[in-house]
Amino acid sequence: MKKKIINTDKAPAAIGPYSQALEAGNTLYISGQISISPSTGKLVEGGIKEQTSQVLKNIGAILEAAGYSYQHVVKSTCLLANMDDFKEMNEIYASVYSENPPARAAYGVVRLPMGALIEIETVAVK
């Protein structure tokens, strides 16, 4: 099986030994994205709504770089530093996936990189 590494400067660079995304066949696996602004390299200011919005922008940039779109997304995994943020996260998430939303899981976790409030990993298929 042939693997293709996807990288774009329109999304934050990896902060560890992983790729922004990897395409295998017709499936794109996007590494967990946190709310880092690609222009500053820092977390965006604000709460869960602002952070969720930035995470989804980062995912969108990676999808585009690989020739995919949000409509190709089949699975999301959302990691929340505080499950009390679920409702507000869901409002922003729903604005991107309003029709035919992908399958999804959401978990509360103890801590996320750089003190982020949310991380989302994504799988898309053409």
pLDDT in tens, 39-95: 999 999 999 999 999 999 999 999 999 999 999 999 999 999 999 999 999 999 999
| Res. 14 pLDDT band, cuts 50 70 90 | confident
Summary count for the chain: helices (H), strands (E)? 2, 6
| Res. 16 pLDDT band, cuts 50 70 90 | confident
Domain ranges of the chain: 3-125
The confidence score (pLDDT) of residue 5 equals 96
Please state the pTM of the whole predicted model.
Answer: 0.96
| Res. 105 pLDDT band, cuts 50 70 90 | very high
Q: What whole-number distance in Å separates Cα of residue 51 and Cα of residue 37?
A: 10
Give the neighbor-by-neighbor strand order of the sheet with 103-108. 3-6, 21-24, 27-33, 118-125, 73-80, 103-108
Q: Which residue shows structure tokens 């992983």?
A: 18
Contact status, residue 31 vs residue 19, Cβ threshold 8 Å: yes
9: which strand partners?
A: none
Res. 110: pLDDT tops 90:
yes
Crossing angle for the helix pair 86-96 and 48-65, nearest 10 degrees?
Answer: 30
**CB burial readout 11-41, b (16+ within 10 A) else e:** bbeeeeeebbbbbeeeebbbbbbbbbeeeee
Q: What CATH superfamily is the domain 3-125?
A: RutC-like (3.30.1330.40)
